[in-house]
Structures are given as structure tokens and as C-alpha cells.
Structure 1
Amino acid sequence: MTSCFRRLTTGPTLPSGPAQSRQRSTADILSLPLKRISINQQPGILLRSSRQYSRSFIIEAVEPGDRSGGGNEAEKAGPCACLVGDQTVEGVVQSIDRTVEINGKRTISGGDSTSKEDRTVEVAVAAAVTVVLGVGNRVLYKLALLPLKHYPFFLAQLATFGYVIVYFTILHIRHRAGIVTDEMLSMPKAPYLLVGLLEALGAATGMAAGAILSGASIPILSQTFLVWQILLSTIFLGRRYKVNQLLGCFLVAVGVIITVASGPSAGSLKEAGIFWSLLMMFSFFLQAADTVLKEVIFLDAAKQLKGGSVDLFVINSYGSAFQALFVCLLLPFMSKLWGIPFSQLPNYLKDGAVCFLNIGSLSSGCDGAPLLPLLFVIVNMGFNISLLHLLKISSAVVSSLASTFSVPIAVYVFTLPLPYLGVASSLPTGFVAGAIVLVLGLLIYAWTPSSWILMKLVRDSSNEKK
């Protein structure tokens, strides 16, 4: 690639001869957007030619009186330097670790390979954190239900309404610190309203189906979550997936199914009937739509904030607030699903609070509270934040894969001697086989064949020639 420098003055220059008194034609005038890049700490604008051979021009703005050195400027200009009037700039364009937009088109420099590697590392670290918190979330949920075994509905409402208080407190602190701007808070609230509705309906339908289905069948049906995300991402985000990515997602789902279904407690889906299985799949459809909608919110925010990004706690706070609102509206229906008459709901919540605080005569059998339930709420909150962060820097499918990968690890953790659980459960017979298939699926999803890279380079080159 041939690279050239060009220096233009930012103000009028003193005439040096009759030739400079001529008026320039319209074709000599360049209209450039006010976007700058840094090249060796010098301001400038990167242009790239669309000819068959690629040439880059650096147009650098300088003050009228900025004249470095004397002598014949044309002789000082190297073979790649461009001369405009009596101004030249020496040098050769080095790799520029920036992406510049000119007239709405993105120009990616050679240094972007380093940026891409850093991005990959960031996604990998975020995915690993999400997996760890996902495992802790599943394990602590089981432990939290030990003291609150008679009050699971209280634990669900504690998490729902507790998040609203915690998220808005953090949002207020971040707003006072200047991290959350007024522009972020003034964004339209309709998408957050839809987020809350999807989360509330997803919880209600999942709760209804979960009360009928066997414990082992729910993780199996949850693998439809990946299918819904791929489908919705293709429709609403225009995302296209390679064959290896689709195959990888399929193998991940198969690996989880093998791991869970091989256990001794695995029940048949036919026992509960097709309706409840479809209802559970529909609940995961609502959850998948929720994650894709959040990805759309991030993309729209980048446009509204002119390249900025909305803070995670803005989405979490308003989404949780609207979810709590819809949960209140659905409370008579949801309490009935848990077998609690709506008229007895106040007494139920009161007894649940007593057991949670582990005080009074009603707290017998509530050993482990409030420590275990609080640990679950804290880890669940961290898991939701990490999942949203991973969604922000990658995609809905990647965040789903990280969450799915935590399932077999959690199955293995339950075989360890955990406190309050008593005798550890045995490892399913097909655990190793399922784990191998799952890891193979993740590797295939992340694999980028060199032949596909070559095809992409050839396609980009042909597009540039056109």
C-alpha cells in the first residue's frame, strides 16, 4: 500500500508569487469532516483511495506560520510526499491503531489487529467471569432454598424487589460521580418497559411450567434458549452465523442434554404432557427476546449518544423497576402457581421474612438464613451484571453460551461435599461424554478456519477494486 502525507494550512498564507493569486477551481476544494486522528502526536485526517491500488493520504492541519526548516520544500518531499502550495510533510505512514470514519464509511488501519486481539481477550475474560458466577448462582440457589424450603416465593420476590433498591442506589452513585450522564438517563423508557414486561412474563410462564415438569427436564428444555437467540438475532439484528457457529451451538446444547439426562433423576418429558413442555419453551423464548432487546438497546444508544455507550446500571435499574411493576400486576396469578391463596399472601410473606431473618419461634428449620439467601442474591446480582456486560461487548449468543457452559460445571460441583447439603450426589454416568461434546461445541463455535480468512480478504479486495 502506498502512503502519502499532505499538509494544508488552516488559515491564509502570504502570497509568494503571481501563481498563488489565481483562484482555485471547484475541483481543487476538499470538503472534509471535522474528525481527527493522532499520528505520532500530530493531528490529522486519514483518507483512503478507492482505486485498484490502495493509497492512504494524511492531511494535516497546521497554523499559517508553522514553517519547519527552509530551503526547497519540493526537494525535501520524499517520493511519497504530496506537495500543496509550498507546504510539505516528510515521512511514511506507520501503522495507525485507530478506526476513522469519513463520510460515514469506516476505514480500518493496519494496527487494528492489536485492537482485535485485545477485544478477544476482553470477551474471553468476561465470559470466564460469567461462567464462574453462573456456577455460583446455580449452586447458591439450591443452598438458599434449604432454609427457605417452605418460602421459595418469598425468595423470588426478595430478589425481584431487592434488585430495584440496589440497582437504583448504584445508579445514583454513578450519576453523582459523572459516570452516568444526563443524556443516558433521558433516553426513551419504552424499551426498558418492554424489557420489564418480557422478564415478568418469562418468570411467570417458567414458574407455571416448572411446577409441573420434572427437575431434570427443565435444563434440557432450556437449551431451546440458544435456538431462539440465534433466530431472533438473525431477524432483528440482521446477524448471519457461519456453519461452524451453528454446529457449535448445536453441540453445546447436545452436551448439556447428555449431561443432565444421564442422571438417575432424569424424567421423561412425556410424563408432564406436551403443553407444559411447550409453555417452558415459550418462557425461554421470552427470555431470549429480552437479551436480544437489550442488545438492540446498546446499539441504539451508540447512535443516540454519538458513539457513546449507555451504562449497564441504567438498563438494569429501569428494567428491574418495570419488572417489579409487572410482577405486582401478576401477583395474584403467580401466587396461585406457588399454591398460595392470594388472601393468605400477606401472612405468607410475613412468615417468610421471619424465617429469612432467622428470628422468633417460627424460625425453626431455617438454619443457614440469612447468610445463604443473601449470598445467593449477591451472586445472582453479580451474575446478571456480568451477563449484561458480556452481552454489551459481544453478542446475545456468546452470553448464552457462557451461561450454558456453567450447567455441567454446576452438576459436578453438586457432587462435592458442600455444607448443609449432607450426602453429595453421584456424578451422572454420561457426565464426561456430555462435557466433552459441550467443550467441542464451544471450540467449533470459536474456530475461524484460515481458508475463511483468506476468502474474506479476497472478497474485501474485490470490493475495494470495484
Structure 2
Amino acid sequence: MDSSPAAAAAASAAVVALAVANRVLYKLALVPLKAYPFFLAQLTTFGYVAVYFSILYSRYRAGVVTRDMLGLPKSRFVAIGLLEALGVASGMSAGAMLPGPAIPILSQSFLVWQLIFSALLLGRAYSARQIIGCLLVTSGVILAVASGANEGQFLSEVQLIWPALMITSSAFQAGASILKEDVFIEGAKRLKGKRPDIFVVNSFGSGFQALFVFLLLPFLSNLRGIKFAELPGYLNGGAECFLNVGESLIGNIVEEHHSCLCCL
């Protein structure tokens, strides 16, 4: 069923508004939880799982989702979950160290990565106009990162590793989005022309993402100076900070030795 131009415009505006709100809330959450990016990654990941599987269950009961859809091979979902887990963890680590305006600018590299991966993995060809647009986005990201070398610019006091990590995060997320598209293409073949329900793809992808975020937590946290034995205290401190229970200090657990500000 085709939607009217007004409905399409309203839907597009809602998507843009929610995307902007997501970025703003993303940065706001990292202010009090600056020392706990991996706790926030766990929290958001398992939140997605709960929401997606709840909707999936209701759609299955309503007959929208079939057993054949649920029986699709899970290997691609595993790869999607791994890439999204790496994207979430690296993105939140970088986001905690970057100034607010840098995050949406560097995240534009997602479009570039998506174009590259779709050409390599899905064999798609793009017009000269699309390639030029991609180059313009790339130029803007390069200029934003290069400004870090100039005193007085908004990235001047940020180490190069953090913008690079944010760009890498976008690469992981773009790779996951291309694999999701491949799932729809291959799934339609298995389901005899019927595309898999979007909540099947998102639910299983988020489920494996939650698993990998959990499994990668000891390794990723160690990169920030948090030893495996200190993880329970780290997660407990993150929970206290998130719930605004007193003032949570992590002392020597993280290398920055930041105290957690439990209010905005």
C-alpha cells in the first residue's frame, strides 16, 4: 500500500527527529557515565533485546511472523551481532572522549563505509553523483579530524585515536547494516519471495549483539585499564551512577581517575 506524500514526509521528519534525539541523549548519557562506557553499552544493548523480542513475540502471536522466518540460518545473525557489539563498544568509548559536535560529524563516515561495503559485498554500482556525494562526506570527515592538529579547533585537545575509533565504530555498524540487507535478500529466496519480518532480523541480531558485548566486556574494559577482577566493582559503580545513588568513585580502576558525576 503506497503512502501519501504527506505521510511519507511526516515519517521522514519523525525519523530525523528521533535520530537527532538519539545522538543528543547518547552524549548526555556519556557525561555522567564518562567512566562507564561499557556499562552503558551493556544497558542499551539488553534494552534493545527486551524491546525487539517483545515486539517479535506479539507479531508471531498475530501471525505476521511465521515459523519459517524464525528458522532462517543464524550464521549471518551471529556476524551482525559481533559487528554491532564492536560498533557499540568502540563508539561509546570514543564518544566519552569527544566533544559533542564531533560525534555527529564523524558518524557521517557511516555513509561512506556503507557505500564501500555494499559495492564490495552486494556488488552494487553507484552513479557519479552518488560517488561525488560520498567524496564530499569523506572530505568533511577528514577536515574535522585534521582540525585536531590546530590549536583552537574543536578537536585540538583530543588525541587522534578517539576520532579514529569513532570512524571505526561507524565501519562496524555499516558492515552490520549491509549484512542485514543481505539477510533480507537471501531470506526472500528461502521464503519463496516473502521477505523476512524486520523484527526477526533486528531481534536475533540484537540478541547476538548482547551476547558479544557481554563476552567482549573483559577484553574491552582491560584496554581502559580495568582488570577482570575489578569488573564487578566497575559494573556496580556504573549501576549506582546510572541510578543516581550517591557519588560513585572508581579510584584507580580506570586510567583517567575520573570521579563519576551522578547528576546532569
Give TM class, smaller chain: 0.7 to 0.9
TM-fit CA distance, 1:207: 5.4
Partner of 2:115: 230
Match of 2:262 in 1: 366
Higher relative contact order (CA 8 A, sep 6+): 2
Query: Taking structure 1 as reference, are residues 228 and 119 closer, same or farther at Cα in structure 2, changes over 3 Å only?
Result: farther
Match of 2:242 among 332, 339, 356: 356
Residues 126 and 337 of structure 1: is their aligned pair in 2 closer, same or farther, counting only changes over 3 Å? farther
Q: CA deviation at 1:277?
A: 6.0
Residue 135 in structure 1 maps to residue 31 in structure 2: no
Q: How does 1:117-196 map to 2 (within 5 A)?
A: 126-196=11-81
Classify 1:197/1:150 alpha carbon distance in 2 versus 1 (closer, same or farther; 3 Å).
closer
Q: Deviations over 1:340-375 (max 9, x none)?
A: 33212212222322332334x4479533xxxxxxxx
User: Structure 1 residues 174, 338: closer, same or farther in 2, change over 3 A?
Assistant: farther
Amino acid at match of 2:155: G
Conserved? CA contact 2:65–2:197, under 8 Å: yes
- Aligned mates of 1:311, 1:132 — CA distance in 2: 25
Give the superposition deviation at 1:126: 4.5
Structure 2 gap segments, 5+ residues each: 249-259
Do the aligned residues in 2 keep the contact of 1:213 with 1:272 (CA within 8 Å)? Answer: no
Kindly indicate whether the alpha-carbon contact (under 8 Å) linking 1:207 and 1:337 is maintained by their aligned counterparts in 2.
no
Structure 1: gaps spanning 5 or more residues: 1-113, 368-419, 421-466
Q: 1:327 is matched with which residue?
A: 213
**1:291 paired residue among 177, 202, 222:** 177
After superposition, the Cα gap between the structure-2 partners of 1:199 and 1:351, relative to the gap in structure 1 and judged at 3 Å, is same
Match of 1:5 in 2: none
CA distance in structure 2 between the partners assigned to 1:297 and 1:128 by the alignment: 27
Q: 2:186 aligns with which of 300, 325, 350?
A: 300
Q: Give runs of aligned pairs for residues 47-446 of structure 1, distance below 5 A.
A: 126-206=11-91, 219-254=104-139, 265-268=153-156, 272=159, 280-359=166-245, 361-362=246-247, 366-367=262-263, 420=264
Q: CA RMSD in A?
A: 3.6
Q: Aligned partners of 1:362, 1:276: CA distance in 2, in Å? A: 27
Q: Percent identity?
A: 55
User: Structure 1 length as normaliser, TM-score?
Assistant: 0.46
SS in structure 1 opposite 2:170? Answer: helix
1:55-114: CA deviation from partner (whole Å, max 9, x where unpaired): xxxxxxxxxxxxxxxxxxxxxxxxxxxxxxxxxxxxxxxxxxxxxxxxxxxxxxxxxxx9
Distance 1:206 1:223 in 2: 13
TM-score (norm 2): 0.76
* Distance across 1 between alignment mates of 2:92 and 2:262: 24
Distance of 1:121 and 1:305 partners within structure 2: 33
Instruction: Please state which structure has a larger fraction of its residues in helix.
Output: 2
Deviations, residues 173-228 of structure 1 (Å, cap 9, x unaligned): 21111121111101111110110111123334445666777776665544433222
Higher strand share: 1
Secondary structure of residue in 2 paired with 1:354 = helix
- Give the 3 Å change call, closer, same or farther, for CA 123–285 of structure 1 in structure 2: farther
Aligned to 1:392: none
Q: Which residue of 2 aligns with 1:78?
A: none
